Amino acid sequence: MHDEARPDIAASPRTVVKIGSSSLTRNGAIDDARIVALTDAIAARVGRGHQVLLVSSGAIATGMAPLGLKKRPRDLATQQAAASVGQGLLIARYTDAFSRHRLGVGQVLLTADDLMRRAHYRNAQRTLERLLELNVLPVVNENDTVATDEIRFGDNDRLAALVAHVSRASALILLSDVDGLYDGDPRNGNAIRIDMVTGPGDLANVRAGRTGASGLGRGGMSTKVDSALIATAAGIPTVVTTARDVGKALAGEKTGTYFAPTGQRQSTRLLWLAHAAVARGTVKLDPGAVEAVIDRRASLLPAGITAVTGSFEAGDPVDLTDERGKPVARGIVSYAAKELPSLMGRSTRWLSARLGPEYEREVVHRDDLVIL
């Protein structure tokens, strides 16, 4: 009997599945049996008329043997080189495994930053859409040559949430070595698996581990939770479960931890800003500006700023803090840090009269701002 506990996942027309290196490898090398199990489950789902996009790591692990490396390289440049050697081979394995189900595969290499730039976002969206229309299964990984977020922080989880958003997916499945989120360390025996998370409030007492136990993959439970919160805030239900249960998870059966949607679809740039961006500095607001930005959702003007820290350029993410230094919002700033001290406290009218009309612009436009 099927325990279809999660009808939204079961019915999802388009689902993103994310798998990390540690779930694909055994003793440091890619385990073909795991690739086969994963591709079988995904192909079965596609065979029932659903669309799936796969976000897969494993490039570094695949590149180790051809380079004669016994252990994962420690320095970033060699890790990136191994990923470069491994990525093609990894895709070849997926191509082979999916071809047994008469499914084609398209490689898509992305960075979280790409998904923030409007033109790149649109291009990625169009490519993914067309691949799916052509019945080709997109296999996404971080573009390790130019970005190292995953290598450093295990951030393919977050990339997967952004891919779910850009592809307008209706479900996200994050596969892990652990069969879900526990209320404590699952190794200590008395931790309990959490079945369902209805919102960030449910996580108040949960301590999620940072890195995987094997040392191969870098994404611990905490990046999965972050990713699930990004996706659910954008209206995409998310399941975190073990790779072994991918078939069950896709079918909407009860496995792992289900994160219920908490919000509506919103712009990816704002999602990125709220959940993934690292602020390059801070601007401190006077109480009037805090009120204007938070309560009235107004843009931030130079007049409301009392201090600036960090070295940022126009276009960088910055935190907006209150007078005590507590971050209240995050936004894309439209001035460089070194320009702001001479503008602080001045009205836009004064600035445009003295310095020219380009100084009439907001420090952070309301459309480029998220409340924290």
Among the residue ranges 138-146, 308-316, 326-334, 344-352, the one whose residues contact ligand GLU (CB under 6 A): 138-146
**Inter-CA distances, 177 with 44, 89, 91, 181, Å:** 22, 23, 22, 11
The smaller minimum CB distance to ligand GLU, of residues 58 and 261, is found at 58
β partners of residue 284: 307, 321
How far apart are the C-alpha atoms of 55 and 159, rounded to whole Å? 8
How far apart are the C-alpha atoms of 66 and 202, rounded to whole Å? 45
Residue 4 main-chain phi, psi, to 5 deg: -85, 80
Distance of closest approach, residue 220 Cβ to ligand GLU, in angstroms: 12
Residue 58 binds ligand GLU, judged by CB under 6 A: yes
Residue 150 binds ligand GLU, judged by CB under 6 A: yes
Residue 57 binds ligand GLU, judged by CB under 6 A: yes
Distance of closest approach, residue 38 Cβ to ligand GLU, in angstroms: 14
Burial class (CB in 10 A: 0-12, 13-18, 19+), 328: middle
Q: Contacting ligand GLU (CB under 6 A), which of 18, 165, 218, 269?
A: 218
Q: Contacting ligand GLU (CB under 6 A), which of 16, 38, 144, 226?
A: 144
Residue 217 binds ligand GLU, judged by CB under 6 A: yes
Strands (E), the chain: 14-19, 25-26, 29-30, 51-56, 104-110, 136-142, 171-176, 196-197, 238-242, 257-259, 281-285, 305-310, 317-321, 327-333, 364-371
Q: Contacting ligand GLU (CB under 6 A), which of 9, 54, 59, 277?
A: 59
Tell me how many residues contact ligand GLU (CB under 6 A).
Answer: 14
Reduce the DSSP state of residue 46 to 3 states and report it.
helix
Among the residue ranges 56-64, 161-169, 186-194, 236-244, the one whose residues contact ligand GLU (CB under 6 A): 56-64
Q: Output DSSP code: residue 359.
A: G
How large is the angle between the packed helices 221-233 and 156-166, nearest 10 degrees? 20
Residue 23 binds ligand GLU, judged by CB under 6 A: no
Distance of closest approach, residue 56 Cβ to ligand GLU, in angstroms: 7
The smaller minimum CB distance to ligand GLU, of residues 60 and 228, is found at 60
Residue 110 binds ligand GLU, judged by CB under 6 A: no
- Which residue matches tokens 């910055």? 318
How far apart are the C-alpha atoms of 329 and 293, rounded to whole Å? 8
- Each residue 167-186 as x (binds ligand GLU by CB under 6 A) or -, in order, gives --------------------
The smaller minimum CB distance to ligand GLU, of residues 59 and 292, is found at 59
β partners of residue 136: 104
The smaller minimum CB distance to ligand GLU, of residues 144 and 245, is found at 144
Q: Contacting ligand GLU (CB under 6 A), which of 24, 131, 140, 151?
A: 151
Distance of closest approach, residue 219 Cβ to ligand GLU, in angstroms: 8
The smaller minimum CB distance to ligand GLU, of residues 21 and 299, is found at 21
Q: Which residues of 223-241 are buried (b: 16+ CB within 10 A; e: fewer)?
A: bbbbbbbbbbbbebbbbbb
Distance of closest approach, residue 125 Cβ to ligand GLU, in angstroms: 21
How far apart are the C-alpha atoms of 127 and 139, rounded to whole Å? 12
The smaller minimum CB distance to ligand GLU, of residues 144 and 368, is found at 144
Distance of closest approach, residue 270 Cβ to ligand GLU, in angstroms: 25
Q: Contacting ligand GLU (CB under 6 A), which of 12, 21, 111, 282?
A: 21
How far apart are the C-alpha atoms of 9 and 261, rounded to whole Å? 11
Residue 91 binds ligand GLU, judged by CB under 6 A: no
Distance of closest approach, residue 57 Cβ to ligand GLU, in angstroms: 4
Q: DSSP of 228-281, one letter per residue?
A: HHHHHHTT--EEEEEGGGHHHHHTTBS-SEEE---S----HHHHHHHHT----E
Residues that bind ligand GLU (CB under 6 A): 21, 57-61, 83, 141-142, 144, 150-151, 217-218
